[in-house]
Amino acid sequence: MTDTPNAEQRQQPKPLRVLAAMSGGVDSAVAAARAAEAGHDVTGVHLALSANPQSFRTGARGCCTVEDSRDARRAADVIGIPFYVWDLAERFREDVVEDFVAEYAAGRTPNPCLRCNEKIKFAALLDKAIALGFDAVCTGHYAAVVTGADGRRELHRASDAAKDQSYVLGVLDERQLAHAMFPLGDTLTTKDEIRAEAERRGLAVARKPDSHDICFIADGDTQGFLAKHLGSEQGAIVDESGEQLGTHNGAYGFTIGQRKGLRIGVPADDGKPRYVLDISPVDNTVTVGPLEALDVIALTAIKPRWCGVPPRGPATYTAQLRAHGEDVPVTAELVGDELRVAFDAPVRGIAPGQAVVLYDGTRVVGSATIAVTERAAAEQAAAEAAAGQPVTV
């Protein structure tokens, strides 16, 4: 396992020309201020991600609105760095918003923040920054980039595990990491202390609320957003035996593991809650069942991206399956272009479309998109059938 890198290892070796992505929130403002204070030649940039900013959520979102761009500009003025607004709305619409809609239409559950980091902040933005002569892109993410013993750049968890955001950066490859800077990743400070630092620096965003929801969904109503883009089509809600229990207006409105909002009038025989087990966009059917039926023992993931050298042969790691999920021990192996992951103990709440991110200690090995899951109940049924025993339902 890789030990947590110390502060000396994490230091930048020389002043750089840095492009600081300033969302309008407190984290990116403090990150830009720290980069400038460290002696780097910093320029601030706010990404305009909507052709109609009013269509994105307002009210101190810290991301994509007109008020956010103004907050970012004021922060840059206080820090004393040049500031620009770059229009990446078309690229964002194609690579993030349309991808989000298409994934739900296919019955998967995407994470738009990973896609934005991969396609916008560390692809479109980074490519433009390098073309203009910048050495690095700086963001307010809580993560750390260090140089390993072999001279390669590595992505590690933040010093403060409670604020760590390395999961949503697991899509970055070695080239992108070579031009990434995360000044908040080394700090063992609370968010309140970051806000206090912002106040000491005179940054008006010090008390601005954090953003939590999807930035491009104006009212926070994901189902309403998807219905607008995908339309309404009634389908069946069935149990594991195929018996219809109710109806819905679009399978895209559900996600694996969902319990609330099923609107099933028929109670389960055992009186226990039902959960979404499967979503079939082909016949617009949602299958529900008991909680234990969600137990997953293995998965296959596609489109792997490695933060350095790809793994060779089966090896043990820890895996994170959601942005704020816990680490779970796994054995993983790259087979062709697919990542095969087996869990030491069953896990729940895994949906195709989510990302699985592998860690070796604090080091991020890489990530891949979950395509297929293998459930404990299915394996048990197959084993019983092979043994000629009655299948347990």
In SS3 terms, 268-328 reads as CCCCCCCEEEEEECCCCEEEEECHHHHCEEEEEEEEEEECCCCCCCCEEEEEECCCCCCCE
* From 63, 64, 113, 116, active-site residue: 116
| DSSP states along 334-360 | EETTEEEEEEEEEE----TTSEEEEEE
Q: Does 215 qualify as catalytic in the annotation? A: yes
Torsion angles phi and psi, residue 34, rounded to 5: -65, -40
Would you say 259 and 242 are in contact if contact means Cβ atoms under 8 Å apart? no
What's the CA gap between 304 and 371, in Å, rounded? 11
Residue with tokens 């189902």: 223
- Could you give the 3-state DSSP secondary structure of residue 41? strand
- CB count within 10 Å of CB 55 equals 13
Known active-site residue 116: yes
Number of helices (H) and strands (E) in the chain: give both, helices first.
Answer: 11, 17
The CA distances from residue 121 to 140, 367, 372, in Å, are 12, 17, 28
Asked if residues 244 and 287 have their Cβ atoms less than 8 Å apart, the reply is no
Rg over CA atoms, the chain: 23
**Angstrom distance (rounded) from CA 127 to CA 124:** 5
Residue 246 sits at φ, ψ, to 5 deg, of 180, -170
Q: Output phi, psi for 268, to 5 deg.
A: -70, 155
Query: What Å distances lie between residue 35 and 12, 39, 348, CA to CA?
Result: 10, 7, 40
Pick the catalytic residue from 63, 64, 138, 215: 215
Annotated active-site positions, please?
Answer: 116, 215
